[in-house]
DNA sequence: GTTTGATAGTTAGATAATCTAATTAAAAGG
DNA sequence: CCTTTTAATTAGATTATCTAACTATCAAAC
């Protein structure tokens, strides 16, 4: 009797649950000083956040670069004139200097950036984009921006306006909490 | 003359730029069929998403578990009765079976889950939570929910209402795009 | 009933992004 | 000069992924 079903669905598959069972779980397992509505909304925001990063990852993959490395390249682009040291980049990216070193190794191996010793202070290194790096960024950015924009296509004009206000507010408050700045 | 300054700020530090220079960059580097307002909003959403995941990571760290492993445990919790195979878990989590194997190895080593061979089909394995696993989840969840909720504390009641509608809409559309379900 | 193909799980081996702790070199400050 | 601090790197680890290959089992076809 279950044979027909088997052609459509794998009986071992876990069914899609949606958000409802999570709401029930919140009711039984959240602390009394947690607002349950907020927990639910926060969970949905967490899911959305996961997906937003997945979308970017997927779209950048064909270029052979990841979001974190592109972030570093963007930082160098925007600070054009100013000379950037690995330490300063690490600080601004919120990672350790050791992590910055390995990202820079990767980027330098592909000729996207170069390291130059400072002449005033020989402990320091200044990182800059190569012409190849600039060309690469110019190739990637249109996809990057369209990928960012693509997540919002279903919103109506007035919804976008409201959403921007809310995202901006949340961004400020979460950055304050995490003590990071962009 | 620059000595005083040095005690306050490191002259090598890259200044905080905020969103403005990114907007200028969008203007010069986005494709003509990209809505520039959307690109900007999408970028802010990307930043917010990064931070949302950081907040959760930070709060889960003291428990020695990561969000992806907790996701797996939550799936087992919510599907309580139903027997979950590694394949089914992998499919629902959007990872490969190989990745599921290593997560399960980790969880089993810490006695949070057990693997049992199916008797009907000896290729299959059923994964279930141990009592220890259930206890662990009960300990983690209050923090997990409060951490989710904490991202929204600065919103006003009416803002939350609007935000929920928007997040829900975006979640639906991004899940359709990524062909994932929760 | 034996072969052949699909399925379930694992293993092997790789990459990426991160960390901490130790190391090296140089500068700065007494 | 000696000591401390700073900058960058290295060494070594963990986590989360992946693909490809392998093993065992089941199922279906002939």
**Cα separation, A23 vs B168, whole angstroms:** 14
pLDDT at position B9, please? Answer: 54
Closest residue (CA to C1') to nucleotide D11 in the complex:
A98
Residue A33: CB partners within 8 Å, gap ≥ 6?
A: B146
pLDDT average, residue stretch B105-125: 96
Integer distance in angstroms from CA A150 to C1' D18? 26
Distance A48 CA to D22 C1' (A): 38
Q: What fold, for B68-143?
A: Arc Repressor Mutant, subunit A (1.10.10)
Tens of pLDDT, residues B135-180: 999 999 999 999 999 999 999 999 999 999 999 999 999 999 998 8
Helix (H, G, I), strand (E, B) or coil at B99: helix
Give CA–CA dist A60/A53, Å, rounded: 11
Pairing label, strands B125-129, A113-117 = unpaired
Q: Are A107 and A89 in contact (CB under 8 A)?
A: no
Nearest to B44 among A75, A159, A167 (CB): A167
Query: What was the pLDDT predicted at B107?
Result: 98
**Which residues partner with B116 through β-bridges?**
B126
Contacts of B182 in chain A (CB under 8 A): 16-19, 47
**Cα separation, B160 vs A42, whole angstroms:** 10
Mean pLDDT of each 10-residue bin along chain A, 182 residues long: 40 91 97 97 98 97 97 96 93 97 98 96 96 98 98 97 98 93 87
Does B39 contact A146 at a Cβ distance shorter than 8 Å? Answer: yes
Query: Residue A14: its chain B contacts at CB < 8 A?
Result: 75, 79, 82, 84, 88-89, 91-92
The answer to whether some atom of strand C lies closer than 7 Å to the beta carbon of A87 is no
Per-residue pLDDT, B82: 80
CATH fold, domain A67-143, is Arc Repressor Mutant, subunit A (1.10.10)
| Residues 6 or more apart in contact with residue B130 via CB below 8 angstroms | B111, B112, B113, B114
Q: Which residues contact A102 (CB under 8 A, 6 or more apart)?
A: none
Domain ranges of chain A: 67-143, 153-182
Strand partners, A126: A116
Task: Give the DSSP per-residue string, A97-144.
Answer: HHHHHHHHHHHHHTTSEEEEE-SS-TT-EEEEE-HHHHHHHHHHHHHH
Q: Is A88 on the interface with B (CB under 8 A)?
A: yes
Q: Which of residues 93-112 of A touch strand D (CB under 7 A)?
A: 97-98, 100-102, 104-105
C-beta separation of A54 from A76 below 8 A: no
Mean pLDDT for B111-121 is 95
């Amino acid at each position: 009797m279950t044979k027909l079903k088997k052609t459509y669905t794998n009986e071992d598959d876990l069914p899609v649950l949606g958000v409802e069972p999570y709401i029930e779980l919140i009711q039984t397992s959240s602390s009394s000083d947690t607002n349950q509505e907020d927990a639910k909304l926060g969970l949905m925001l967490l899911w959305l956040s996961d997906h937003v990063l997945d979308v970017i990852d997927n779209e950048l993959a064909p270029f052979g670069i990841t979001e974190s490395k592109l972030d570093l390249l963007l930082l160098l682009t925007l600070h054009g004139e100013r000379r950037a040291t690995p330490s300063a980049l690490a600080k601004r990216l919120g990672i350790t200097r050791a992590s910055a070193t390995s990202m820079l190794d990767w980027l330098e191996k592909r000729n996207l950036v170069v390291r130059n010793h400072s002449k005033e202070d020989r402990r320091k290194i200044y990182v800059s984009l190569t012409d190849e790096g600039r060309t690469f960024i110019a190739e990637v950015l249109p996809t990057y921006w369209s990928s960012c924009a693509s997540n919002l296509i279903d919103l109506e004009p007035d919804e976008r306006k409201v959403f921007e206000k809310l995202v901006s507010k949340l961004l400020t408050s979460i950055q304050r909490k995490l003590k990071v700045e962009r």
